[in-house]
Structure 1
Amino acid sequence: MNKITFSPKQKEVIRAPFDVTLEVNEGTPRSGKTTAGVFRYAYYLTITPDENHLIVAFNQEQAYRLFIECDGFGLKHIFGDLAQLKHDDNGDHLEIHTPNGIKKVYYKGGGKADSHKAITGMSLGSVVFCEINLLHMNMIQECFRRTFAAKMRYHLADLNPPPPNHPVIKEVFEVQNTRWRHWTIHDNPIISEERKKEIYETLKKNPYLLQRDWYGKRVMPEGVIYSMFDMEKHIKPTVLGMPYEMFFAADGGQGDATSVSCNIVTRYKDKFRLNRVAHYYHSGKETGQVKAMSTYAREIKAFVKWCVEKFEMRYSEFFVDPACRSLREELHLVGIDTRKADNNAHDIKGTSKGIEVGIERAQNVITNEQFFLVETDKYGHYHFIKEIGLYCRDENGKPIDEYNDAMDEFRYSVNYFYRRYVL
């Protein structure tokens, strides 16, 4: 495993006694809280007598990435040859050999309304909630019930600061016997002063992001562009209505994220709906793994094939940001014909110009209940949900060029939908 140096706060967290029901690490992105949580949890697993445990995130992929892998510092790396990925009747898990016997650490998704069904009947010793504010409350509450009979009951949660009125605060943090810790980027020993300055210069352009992602405060997202999006109202378990068309929209980059959405237009209750049913997303900057455009093209082709088979529909169009010429060329080489997406470059509507026209259309389809996310078992909406909650305006009212890769291709899909089915 890679060598690691802990900050004083990380050491404090790892070594703390297990004397509360729930531990919460809340604070800014890149503050080191997840790494501390992983090592804390590894320590717990070596001393608990309970056999079965659970890591839950918005989807299974995130649960694996955040705690099992964790950029080379996850559980499978900490335990090395003593850990092995396996599968049994309860699902995928990491089997770990410890001085107190074998431990099975299951990892599952918890962002859907029915996610809790995957753990019904299981007896657990502990649960880790990754980004707990993105999990469905049904799953969170079921997790606490599954540990009632544990010999060494333990729960660990981490999250970036949510709005002050987020239900997880009153319904979970204030209900349980909770130890809460606040984190900022200064608690991460691997972030250099130069990088901190770079991050600060970006965040200071927007008061909301500065307070949330620099100071780690819970603030109302007044500058969020799509604040009308509601996770309860705008996420559905299935596609509703008569299908009219399937199409794809894409925005690509190697340093920035490559984001591709599968969209199905339906007619439901005398109104056309834009259903975002699947999402391919990869960020070289976020993962540290930069892929060639030819690799993206092959993976996107597999994504398209999965969508066509899953929803049993042929797709009509594949739109790509006009600036992504290399991605378009690579897609053509693997047999996917593309068209330039409408990126609002020439749009003028009243006082709105350019992307503001597309943003206004997107806001309208959300408000008018013509846009929905549809839950799926693969290619989920984790990255879309993260971006839509962070896509903000600066102090001059202009959209900030951050957290906007999925938001850009979302706008492209709305532009096509709006012109064909709304205008």
Structure 2
Amino acid sequence: MNIVYSPKQREVITAPFTHTLEVNEGTPRSGKTTAGHFRYALYLTLTPDENHLITAYNQEQAYRLFVDGDGTGLKHIFGDLSKVKHDELGDHLEIHTPSGIKKVYYKGGGKVDSVKAITGMSLGSVIFCEINLLHMDMIQECFRRTFAARMRYHLADLNPPAPNHPVIEKVFDVQNTKWKHWTIHDNPILTDERKQEIYDVLSKNPYLFARDWEGKRTMPEGVIYSMLNLDKHQIPTLLGQPYEMFFMADGGQSDATSVSCNIVTRYEGKFRLNRVANYYHSGKETGQIKAMSTYAKEIKNDFVKWCTEKFQMPYTEFFVDPACRSLREELHLVGIQTTGADNNAHDIKGGSKGIEVGIERFQNAITNDQFFLVECDKYDHYDFIKEVGMYCREDNGKPIDDYNHALDEARYANNYFYKRYVI
């Protein structure tokens, strides 16, 4: 493995272990996660403790971000000295080190009941991937699980959150914390041309520029769905009497394809739109471009089948964005009949028109407690939640045409819900 480190990466990787919690906070593509991989590998070779934990919003992310790590994660660093295994405590990477065998478990931490997965475990260390997306109960329980460690250690990474994010006051300010700030300039593999390309995109929006170029904690004034409160609008189970299940899809090959399963219920005298599951794949982010025929087969044979069996409901409609003609055609070929989604193309309401009408409706549904995310193990809301924090307006007031693949089809779903159950 031929790795070139920046000065900040070398400093972080080789520093003595003197703090309970180390935090790498900064912009995407700053090299902070790669530094974390090698920092943690050093720790694992030194610690006498056997059991350790990596936690992210879901288990898949925990594995992808730190075990695989796009080629620099633990399994690549340790190579033949490591192997993925499973025991009574769960999936883990078993690593042979000079100080003994280490078991590094990887688990999801974004749900209300995530703590159940680590109850009774005794840990030497915990890695918190994107700690601002984890449930606070899970974070606090992780610190309790390491009380008996002989070489107690915690490492967290995150993109800059809002200044009032609870993780700052309840975690960073409480623990014996060593904090390190990162920007794009700390990543040695980014060329000047690539940096300029990123700059040109981010400079169009003050919020994204401050957060993703300068690495500042900034209030998300331009974030369109800032009224979504995960403590309030993410619930562990479906509530109320079910009325209807329907699917909504928006697709692309290089951009993300997102399909949601939605269930309308009536609870405490009010109709609710419940987003219960999300199939999401981005060719741009994963580097794996799928044919639309592949998407159609996976959506039918895996996602739709799982949802209907899970909730024991037939679906009434399968909506697809009218602009995504290829996905509609491929779905028809595998036996799913589709209807064109209401994408607000012809809407006019007062001074608003088009997409703004749909945005206002969706904002109202969230504010009126008529939209909820229902926690799901297999097809969770990780991508939806990430987009919510990124989707904002440009200087001219128009919504940016990015970070909106799951949010677009969620807006279409709310259009259907609004016209059928609200007005």
Instruction: Give the TM-score, by structure 2 length.
Output: 0.98
- Would you identify which runs of 4 or more consecutive aligned residues in structure 1 move more than 3 Å? none
Q: Could you tell me which residue of structure 2 aligns to residue 295 of structure 1?
A: 294
In 2, the alpha carbon distance for the partners of 1:189 and 1:283 equals 26
Q: Could you tell me which residue of structure 2 aligns to residue 70 of structure 1?
A: 69
Per-residue CA deviation, residues 200-229 of structure 1 (Å, 9 max, x unaligned), is 111111111110010000000000001110
In 1, the alpha carbon distance for the partners of 2:285 and 2:71 equals 14
Alignment gaps of 5+ in structure 1: none
In 2, the alpha carbon distance for the partners of 1:110 and 1:290 equals 29
Give the percent of matched residue pairs that are identical in Structure 1 and Structure 2: 80
CA shift for structure 1 position 277: 0.3
Per-residue CA deviation, residues 294-348 of structure 1 (Å, 9 max, x unaligned), is 2211221211111111111111111111111111111122221111111111111
Per-residue CA deviation, residues 209-264 of structure 1 (Å, 9 max, x unaligned), is 11001000000000000111001010000000000001111111111111111100
Q: Secondary structure at the match of 2:222?
A: coil
Q: Secondary structure at the match of 2:18?
A: coil
In 2, the alpha carbon distance for the partners of 1:94 and 1:333 equals 41
Q: Could you tell me which residue of structure 2 aligns to residue 225 of structure 1?
A: 224
Q: Could you tell me which residue of structure 1 aligns to residue 211 of structure 2?
A: 212
In 2, the alpha carbon distance for the partners of 1:253 and 1:140 equals 36
In 1, the alpha carbon distance for the partners of 2:80 and 2:332 equals 44
Q: Could you tell me which residue of structure 2 aligns to residue 237 of structure 1?
A: 236
In 2, the alpha carbon distance for the partners of 1:109 and 1:52 equals 17
Q: Secondary structure at the match of 1:373?
A: strand
Q: Could you tell me which residue of structure 1 aligns to residue 156 of structure 2?
A: 157
Per-residue CA deviation, residues 14-42 of structure 1 (Å, 9 max, x unaligned), is 11111110000000011111111011111
Q: Could you tell me which residue of structure 2 aligns to residue 406 of structure 1?
A: 406
- For residues 118-157 of structure 1, the aligned pairs below 5 Å read 118-157=117-156
Per-residue CA deviation, residues 65-94 of structure 1 (Å, 9 max, x unaligned), is 100111121111111111111111111111
Question: Which one-letter code corresponds to 1:287 in the other structure?
Answer: T
CA shift for structure 1 position 4: 2.3
In 2, the alpha carbon distance for the partners of 1:24 and 1:237 equals 29
Q: Could you tell me which residue of structure 1 aligns to residue 308 of structure 2?
A: 308
Question: Which one-letter code corresponds to 2:230 in the other structure?
Answer: M
Instruction: Give the TM-score, by structure 1 length.
Output: 0.98
Question: Which one-letter code corresponds to 2:202 in the other structure?
Answer: L
Structure 1, 138-147 or 73-82: larger mean CA deviation: 73-82
In 2, the alpha carbon distance for the partners of 1:196 and 1:345 equals 35
Please say if 1:350 is aligned against 2:350: yes
Q: Could you tell me which residue of structure 1 aligns to residue 97 of structure 2?
A: 98
Q: Could you tell me which residue of structure 2 aligns to residue 60 of structure 1?
A: 59
Question: Which one-letter code corresponds to 1:309 in the other structure?
Answer: E
Q: Could you tell me which residue of structure 2 aligns to residue 117 of structure 1?
A: 116
Q: Could you tell me which residue of structure 2 aligns to residue 368 of structure 1?
A: 368
In 2, the alpha carbon distance for the partners of 1:165 and 1:224 equals 15
- Report the number of matched residues: 422
Q: Could you tell me which residue of structure 1 aligns to residue 324 of structure 2?
A: 324
CA shift for structure 1 position 279: 0.7
Please give the root-mean-square deviation of Cα atoms over the aligned residues, in Å: 0.9
Structure 1, 381-390 or 290-299: larger mean CA deviation: 290-299
In 2, the alpha carbon distance for the partners of 1:77 and 1:279 equals 30
In 2, the alpha carbon distance for the partners of 1:121 and 1:21 equals 21
CA shift for structure 1 position 11: 1.1
Per-residue CA deviation, residues 173-216 of structure 1 (Å, 9 max, x unaligned), is 01111110000111111112112111111111111111001000
